[in-house]
Amino acid sequence: MSHEPDATSRAKRLDRQVVLAALLGVGLVWFYWATLCEMVKRWSTDPRYAHGYLVPMFALVLLWLRRDRLAALATRSSWGGVVLIGGAIALRMAGAYAYFSWLETVSLLPAVAGLCVLVWGWPSLRWSWPAIAFLIFMVPLPYRLEGALAHPLQRVATEVSTYALQTMGFPALAEGNVIHLNDVELGVVEACSGLSMLFTFFAMASGVVMVIRRPWLDKVLIVASAVPIALLVNMIRITVTGVLHEMVGSRLANLVFHDLAGWLMMPMAMGLLWLELELLARLFLEPAPALAPLSPLDLMGSTPGRARAARSR
């Protein structure tokens, strides 16, 4: 009975913290309204960031899945959150002054972290940091970085797809970012560079890592493999398109390349990721818990269960 007042006061304090977080969240949305509208517009018009709509929802799911960690923490509001929010405002102002919109957008992350610290204290970051970090995937990259990534990816996709077609016996020749076949020129334009697939799949792989229960080594390998898997799937798409051009005709090849392949690339990448998870589960086995040394009585049969276990080992 003596614990009831403590539980009641804790529940009331949590309710007040939730209300305060909701009010501060509304203020944060108002402050970043123009930036959020610009992001949503980019998600709607640029297929490379179409996954941006799902990122905030997945972040909320992460917070819900980790809610037991927040309940186990001794949460108390901290003025340290004001420091983080002030840093976010300074970063946003610096981006506006330098006409660098990416800085304005990415300042949203320390602002959200500051809100958590202001309401629940520094220990709350142990609960919320994966969800806050995942929000980076809804922020479009700077245009210069996109261009710097797209052109090398185009070149790699062209060369590898040409080599794959040649290996299968097709007369393929790469010239710039164009693959020449018998009567067809297959152009690997910027939209076919695999950058869109890379952004989306890297976000999905990171989300998988945050949800699954695996050793840290497995998680690092999964995140690191997201890039080659995304590029491999895009090269398979281009190669299959070239094969269809030669064996079936341009009409079906164009249908597969522009419509069907776009839907099949992500399931194929997720299938490869699943195979990787299965392979890692068989390569890295968790050691079985060690048993205590057997005594002479154990060996004589006084504890048959342990003796049988020892003989089975």
The 10s digit of each residue's pLDDT in 47-61 is 788 888 999 999 999
Residue 308 has pLDDT above 50, yes or no: no
Question: Which residues make Cβ contacts (< 8 Å) with residue 108, sequence separation at least 6?
Answer: 28, 32, 35, 88, 135, 139
Average pLDDT over residues 87-94: 92
Distance CA 145, CA 115 (A): 30
Residue 132 has pLDDT above 90, yes or no: yes
Looking at per-residue pLDDT, the higher value among 133 and 252 belongs to 133
The 8-class DSSP code of residue 98 comes to: T
Query: Which region among 106-120, 152-166, 274-288, 299-313 has the lowest average model confidence (pLDDT)?
Result: 299-313
Percent share of the chain, pLDDT over 70: 78
Name the packing angle between helices 4-31 and 33-45 (round to 10°): 70
Average pLDDT over residues 36-45: 91
Res 255: pLDDT: 63
111 three-class SS: helix
Structure token digits, residue 193:
């560079």
Segment 292-301, tens digit of pLDDT: 554 444 444 4
Residue 152 has pLDDT above 50, yes or no: yes
Torsion of CA 104, 109, 112, 117, to 10 degrees: -120
Looking at per-residue pLDDT, the higher value among 164 and 193 belongs to 164
Of the candidates 130, 9, 112, the one whose C-alpha atom is nearest the C-alpha of residue 69 is: 130
Spatial contact of 142 and 102, defined as CB atoms under 8 Å apart: yes
Looking at per-residue pLDDT, the higher value among 287 and 294 belongs to 287
Res 193: pLDDT: 65
> Rg for the chain (alpha carbons), in Å?
27
Half-sphere exposure of 160 toward its Cβ, with a 13 Å CA cutoff? Answer: 18
